[in-house]
């Protein structure tokens, strides 16, 4: 927040007299905001259960983006390095949950080296044979993430129990005994697995395996959060009803839609949106926030679908609201925070003006 506020303050004071400086300040604020969004996703994933969403991802980029977080988590006495694999395959990843798994393993590695040491992360393309242990992945192609430490290793009698819920070797009050079971659970839900290699007195290596996919992030641009070209609306601007109880979000989303060439009618609640429909007729589409008081976005959508069955509805939501969603296909939902290109593409896709992703979630 300091970085965001500081860059915006400098931008407001300097104006546009120095275009290069203004562009740099905007870029810095945007980068800081995206980092904040990732951190918020981490916090919400710890506090709420949510379904996993497998998306094609560059695992090297995922790890590179979280290196600052990892370095801050291990402290100054431990060196942490990352060796990215070359020509790495795209893998199916729930980024938030995989980041959480990596963070858990890095913290465990830190705790295994009380006097300092080195943690090494490495990625590779691997082909696995049939598993020897239940936690290992089935035969197939995977992208592996290895986290190695130089600690005391895991005793053989303990090795067989480390994935059991509530089993722990740390003193009472330290650790929940759930970190490794959660790591394994995430990998198995993603159709991957985990291996452990440990030598007494010589350290431990945990390796995560994520299934290879033939798709790339560029082939699934909206779910991966990248900019995508959306077909612009026709000359006669189509009308969108935008529903969100948060005025700050509603105003900026409305501006994004207007910049994309749409007419926008704003509504601050579900009941207000129904009044708009009754007074102004059926719009081209609705963009609806999920978590709203009195009438949720899902409740509003169910009424809209009953009374206006052909009206497309795009949901907006943060991670905290995913428990309210019905069993929708992945591309019906626009995750907050979003960018203008994400919103424009989602609306265009709802209107049948942009290509569908190659897989529905």
Q: What pLDDT shows up at residue 137?
A: 92
Confidence of residue 224 (pLDDT cuts 50, 70, 90): very low
How buried is 352 (Cβ within 10 angstroms: 0-12 exposed, 13-18 middle, 19+ buried)? exposed
Please provide the DSSP assignment of 273-336 as one string. Answer: HHHHHHHH---SEEEEES--SSS-HHHHHHHHHHHSTT--EEEEE-GGGGGG--S--GGGEEES
Neighbours of 229 (CB within 10 A): 12
Q: Are 145 and 63 in contact (CB under 8 A)?
A: yes
359 pLDDT above the threshold of 80: no
The secondary structure of residue 129, as a DSSP letter, is -
Q: What is the pLDDT of residues 172-205, one digit of tens each?
A: 444 444 567 778 888 888 899 999 888 877 889 9
Instruction: Read off the pTM.
Output: 0.51
Query: Is 356 domain-assigned?
Result: no
Residues 242 and 185 in one domain: no
We report the CATH number of the domain holding residue 70 as: 3.30.565.10
Q: Which one has a higher pLDDT value, 15 or 26?
A: 26
Q: What pLDDT shows up at residue 167?
A: 47
Domain boundary among 193, 215, 237: 215
Strands 140-148 and 203-211: antiparallel
We report the CATH number of the domain holding residue 345 as: 3.40.50.2300
Enumerate the H helices of 48-94 as residue ranges. Answer: 59-65, 67-74
Domain boundary among 215, 246, 265: 215
Residues 94 and 211 in one domain: yes
Mean pLDDT over 86-102 rounds to 91
Residues 18 and 43 in one domain: yes
Residues 73 and 185 in one domain: yes
Q: Output the average pLDDT for the chain.
A: 80
Residues 63 and 187 in one domain: yes
Q: What pLDDT shows up at residue 171?
A: 46
Query: Is 198 domain-assigned?
Result: yes
Q: What is the pLDDT of residues 297-352, one digit of tens each?
A: 888 998 998 889 899 999 998 754 455 555 454 446 888 888 888 899 999 988 88
Q: What pLDDT shows up at residue 236?
A: 52
Residues 160 and 122 in one domain: yes
Enclosing domain of residue 296: 220-350
Q: What pLDDT shows up at residue 231?
A: 43
Q: What pLDDT shows up at residue 324?
A: 53
Q: What pLDDT shows up at residue 221?
A: 37
Q: Are 182 and 157 in contact (CB under 8 A)?
A: no
Domain boundary among 184, 215, 246: 215
Residues 279 and 312 in one domain: yes
Q: What pLDDT shows up at residue 312?
A: 92
Number of domains in the chain: 3
CB-based burial, 336-346: b 16+ in 10 Å, e otherwise: bebeebbbbbb
Query: Is 238 domain-assigned?
Result: yes
Contacts for 86 with CB less than 8 Å, ≥ 6 apart: none
144 pLDDT above the threshold of 80: yes
CA 309/CA 290 separation, integer angstroms: 19
Task: Retrieve residue 45's tokens.
Answer: 């994933």
Three-class SS of residue 64? Answer: helix
Q: What is the pLDDT of residues 31-85, one digit of tens each?
A: 888 877 776 765 565 454 455 678 899 999 999 989 988 888 887 788 999 999 9
Residues 170 and 67 in one domain: yes
Residues 157 and 124 in one domain: yes
Alpha carbon 160 to its chain's center: 32
Query: Is 358 domain-assigned?
Result: no
């Amino acid at each position: 927040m300091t970085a965001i506020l500081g860059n915006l303050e400098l931008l407001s004071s300097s104006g546009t007299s120095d275009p290069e400086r203004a562009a740099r300040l905007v870029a810095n604020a945007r980068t800081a905001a995206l980092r904040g969004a990732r951190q918020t996703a981490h916090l919400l994933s710890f506090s709420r259960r949510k379904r996993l969403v497998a998306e094609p991802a560059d695992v090297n980029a995922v790890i590179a983006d979280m290196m600052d977080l990892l370095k801050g988590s291990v402290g100054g006495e431990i060196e942490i390095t990352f060796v990215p694999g070359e020509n790495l395959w795209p893998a199916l990843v729930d980024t938030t949950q995989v980041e959480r798994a990596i963070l858990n393993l890095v913290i465990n590695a830190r705790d295994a080296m009380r006097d300092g040491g080195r943690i090494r992360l490495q990625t590779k393309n691997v082909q696995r044979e049939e598993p020897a242990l239940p936690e290992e992945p089935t035969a197939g192609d995977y992208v592996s993430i290895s986290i190695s430490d130089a600690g005391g290793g895991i005793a053989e009698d303990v090795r067989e129990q480390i994935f059991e819920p509530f089993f722990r070797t740390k003193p009472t009050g330290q650790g929940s005994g759930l970190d490794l079971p959660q790591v394994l659970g995430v990998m198995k839900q993603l159709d991957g697995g985990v291996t452990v290699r440990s030598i007494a007195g010589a350290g431990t290596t945990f390796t995560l395996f994520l299934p290879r996919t033939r798709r790339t992030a560029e082939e699934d641009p909206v779910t991966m959060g990248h900019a995508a070209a959306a077909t612009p609306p026709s000359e006669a601007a189509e009308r969108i009803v935008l529903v969100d109880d948060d005025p700050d979000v509603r105003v900026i989303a409305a501006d994004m839609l207007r910049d994309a060439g749409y007419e926008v009618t704003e509504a601050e609640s579900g009941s207000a949106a129904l009044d708009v429909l009754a007074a102004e007729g059926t719009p081209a589409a609705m963009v609806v926030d999920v978590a709203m008081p009195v009438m949720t976005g899902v409740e509003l959508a169910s009424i809209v679908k009953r009374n206006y069955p052909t009206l497309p509805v795009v949901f907006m939501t943060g991670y905290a609201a995913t428990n309210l969603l019905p069993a929708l296909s992945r591309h019906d939902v626009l995750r907050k925070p979003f960018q203008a290109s994400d919103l424009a593409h989602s609306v265009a896709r709802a209107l049948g003006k942009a290509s569908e992703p190659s897989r529905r979630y």
